[in-house]
Amino acid sequence: MPRANLLGKPGEGLPLLLAALNKSRPSVAAHALGIARAAFEDAVAYINERRQSGRRIVEFQGIQFLLADLATDLAMCEAWLWHVARLIDQGMTDVATEASMLKLRASDLAMRIATEAVQLHGGYGYIKDYRVERLMRDAKITQIWEGTNQIHRQLIGRSFIDRR
Protein backbone atom coordinates (compact mmCIF):
# COMPACT_ATOMS: atom_id res chain seq x y z
CA MET A 1 0.00 0.00 0.00
CA PRO A 2 1.42 3.42 -0.91
CA ARG A 3 2.42 5.65 2.02
CA ALA A 4 0.10 8.32 0.60
CA ASN A 5 -2.86 6.11 1.58
CA LEU A 6 -1.74 5.86 5.21
CA LEU A 7 -4.23 7.28 7.71
CA GLY A 8 -2.50 8.70 10.76
CA LYS A 9 1.00 7.65 11.72
CA PRO A 10 2.55 4.19 11.74
CA GLY A 11 1.67 2.41 14.97
CA GLU A 12 -1.54 4.36 15.56
CA GLY A 13 -3.84 1.83 13.87
CA LEU A 14 -4.52 -0.47 16.82
CA PRO A 15 -5.58 2.30 19.21
CA LEU A 16 -7.93 3.66 16.50
CA LEU A 17 -9.40 0.20 15.94
CA LEU A 18 -9.90 -0.37 19.66
CA ALA A 19 -11.57 3.03 20.09
CA ALA A 20 -13.96 2.16 17.25
CA LEU A 21 -14.75 -1.23 18.82
CA ASN A 22 -15.60 0.43 22.13
CA LYS A 23 -18.36 2.28 20.29
CA SER A 24 -19.48 -0.51 17.97
CA ARG A 25 -19.72 -3.23 20.61
CA PRO A 26 -22.60 -1.46 22.38
CA SER A 27 -24.42 -1.40 19.04
CA VAL A 28 -24.03 -5.20 18.80
CA ALA A 29 -25.41 -5.39 22.34
CA ALA A 30 -28.38 -3.22 21.36
CA HIS A 31 -28.99 -5.51 18.40
CA ALA A 32 -28.82 -8.55 20.70
CA LEU A 33 -31.21 -6.97 23.18
CA GLY A 34 -33.67 -6.21 20.38
CA ILE A 35 -33.58 -9.90 19.47
CA ALA A 36 -33.98 -10.87 23.13
CA ARG A 37 -36.93 -8.51 23.62
CA ALA A 38 -38.67 -9.78 20.47
CA ALA A 39 -38.16 -13.43 21.44
CA PHE A 40 -39.42 -12.76 24.96
CA GLU A 41 -42.55 -10.97 23.72
CA ASP A 42 -43.27 -13.69 21.14
CA ALA A 43 -42.92 -16.39 23.79
CA VAL A 44 -45.18 -14.57 26.27
CA ALA A 45 -47.85 -14.01 23.62
CA TYR A 46 -47.71 -17.66 22.56
CA ILE A 47 -47.89 -19.15 26.07
CA ASN A 48 -50.79 -16.88 26.95
CA GLU A 49 -52.76 -18.54 24.14
CA ARG A 50 -51.45 -22.13 24.08
CA ARG A 51 -53.12 -24.57 26.47
CA GLN A 52 -51.76 -27.73 28.04
CA SER A 53 -53.72 -29.98 30.41
CA GLY A 54 -56.62 -27.53 30.31
CA ARG A 55 -54.53 -24.52 31.41
CA ARG A 56 -52.68 -21.83 29.56
CA ILE A 57 -48.94 -22.57 29.62
CA VAL A 58 -48.29 -19.20 31.28
CA GLU A 59 -50.30 -20.34 34.32
CA PHE A 60 -47.77 -23.02 35.29
CA GLN A 61 -45.58 -21.91 38.19
CA GLY A 62 -42.34 -23.20 36.66
CA ILE A 63 -43.02 -21.18 33.52
CA GLN A 64 -43.75 -18.09 35.62
CA PHE A 65 -40.42 -18.51 37.42
CA LEU A 66 -38.65 -18.74 34.06
CA LEU A 67 -40.41 -15.60 32.81
CA ALA A 68 -39.51 -13.74 36.00
CA ASP A 69 -35.82 -14.58 35.60
CA LEU A 70 -35.74 -13.72 31.90
CA ALA A 71 -37.61 -10.44 32.36
CA THR A 72 -35.34 -9.42 35.24
CA ASP A 73 -32.15 -10.22 33.32
CA LEU A 74 -33.47 -8.39 30.27
CA ALA A 75 -34.32 -5.27 32.31
CA MET A 76 -30.91 -5.26 33.96
CA CYS A 77 -29.09 -5.68 30.65
CA GLU A 78 -31.13 -2.93 29.01
CA ALA A 79 -30.25 -0.62 31.93
CA TRP A 80 -26.53 -1.41 31.48
CA LEU A 81 -26.87 -0.57 27.77
CA TRP A 82 -28.25 2.86 28.66
CA HIS A 83 -25.44 3.33 31.21
CA VAL A 84 -22.71 2.56 28.67
CA ALA A 85 -24.42 4.75 26.06
CA ARG A 86 -24.42 7.64 28.55
CA LEU A 87 -20.68 7.16 29.18
CA ILE A 88 -20.00 7.31 25.44
CA ASP A 89 -22.28 10.34 25.00
CA GLN A 90 -20.37 12.08 27.81
CA GLY A 91 -17.16 11.62 25.82
CA MET A 92 -15.62 8.92 27.97
CA THR A 93 -13.12 7.03 25.81
CA ASP A 94 -11.97 4.28 28.19
CA VAL A 95 -15.09 2.12 28.13
CA ALA A 96 -13.47 -1.06 26.85
CA THR A 97 -14.36 -3.17 29.88
CA GLU A 98 -17.90 -1.81 30.13
CA ALA A 99 -18.44 -2.34 26.38
CA SER A 100 -17.12 -5.91 26.60
CA MET A 101 -19.32 -6.65 29.61
CA LEU A 102 -22.33 -5.30 27.76
CA LYS A 103 -21.67 -7.17 24.51
CA LEU A 104 -20.96 -10.39 26.39
CA ARG A 105 -24.01 -10.33 28.64
CA ALA A 106 -26.45 -8.99 26.02
CA SER A 107 -25.52 -11.57 23.39
CA ASP A 108 -25.55 -14.45 25.88
CA LEU A 109 -28.94 -13.28 27.12
CA ALA A 110 -30.29 -13.01 23.57
CA MET A 111 -29.25 -16.60 22.92
CA ARG A 112 -30.74 -17.77 26.20
CA ILE A 113 -34.08 -16.01 25.71
CA ALA A 114 -34.34 -17.05 22.06
CA THR A 115 -33.63 -20.67 22.99
CA GLU A 116 -36.24 -20.57 25.75
CA ALA A 117 -38.73 -18.99 23.34
CA VAL A 118 -38.20 -21.85 20.89
CA GLN A 119 -38.64 -24.33 23.73
CA LEU A 120 -41.84 -22.64 24.93
CA HIS A 121 -43.23 -22.86 21.41
CA GLY A 122 -42.59 -26.61 21.41
CA GLY A 123 -42.36 -28.11 17.95
CA TYR A 124 -43.69 -24.89 16.44
CA GLY A 125 -40.59 -23.05 17.63
CA TYR A 126 -38.49 -24.98 15.15
CA ILE A 127 -40.44 -24.10 12.02
CA LYS A 128 -40.21 -20.95 9.95
CA ASP A 129 -43.89 -20.11 10.47
CA TYR A 130 -42.88 -18.67 13.86
CA ARG A 131 -40.38 -15.83 14.19
CA VAL A 132 -38.62 -17.37 17.19
CA GLU A 133 -36.92 -19.87 14.87
CA ARG A 134 -35.12 -17.03 13.08
CA LEU A 135 -34.51 -15.06 16.26
CA MET A 136 -32.55 -17.96 17.70
CA ARG A 137 -30.28 -18.02 14.64
CA ASP A 138 -29.93 -14.24 14.73
CA ALA A 139 -29.05 -14.34 18.44
CA LYS A 140 -26.17 -16.74 17.81
CA ILE A 141 -24.26 -14.40 15.53
CA THR A 142 -24.27 -11.68 18.20
CA GLN A 143 -22.13 -14.00 20.36
CA ILE A 144 -19.56 -14.15 17.54
CA TRP A 145 -19.10 -10.80 15.80
CA GLU A 146 -17.15 -7.87 17.26
CA GLY A 147 -15.12 -10.46 19.16
CA THR A 148 -16.40 -13.80 20.37
CA ASN A 149 -17.71 -13.96 23.90
CA GLN A 150 -14.70 -16.02 24.90
CA ILE A 151 -12.48 -13.11 23.83
CA HIS A 152 -14.64 -10.70 25.83
CA ARG A 153 -14.32 -12.86 28.93
CA GLN A 154 -10.57 -12.72 28.46
CA LEU A 155 -10.60 -8.92 27.99
CA ILE A 156 -12.76 -8.42 31.07
CA GLY A 157 -10.62 -10.78 33.13
CA ARG A 158 -7.41 -9.05 32.06
CA SER A 159 -8.79 -5.71 33.21
CA PHE A 160 -8.26 -6.86 36.80
CA ILE A 161 -4.51 -7.40 36.41
CA ASP A 162 -2.59 -4.92 38.54
CA ARG A 163 -0.39 -2.93 36.10
CA ARG A 164 2.56 -2.09 38.36
Enzyme catalytic residues:
146
Report the Cα–Cα distance between both ends of the chain, in Å, rounded.
39
Phi, psi angle pair for 131, to nearest 5°: -60, -25
Q: How open is the CA angle 96-156-107, to the nearest 5 degrees?
A: 80
CB 32 within 8 Å of CB 142? yes
Nearest-5° Cα angle at 128, 122 to 129:
80
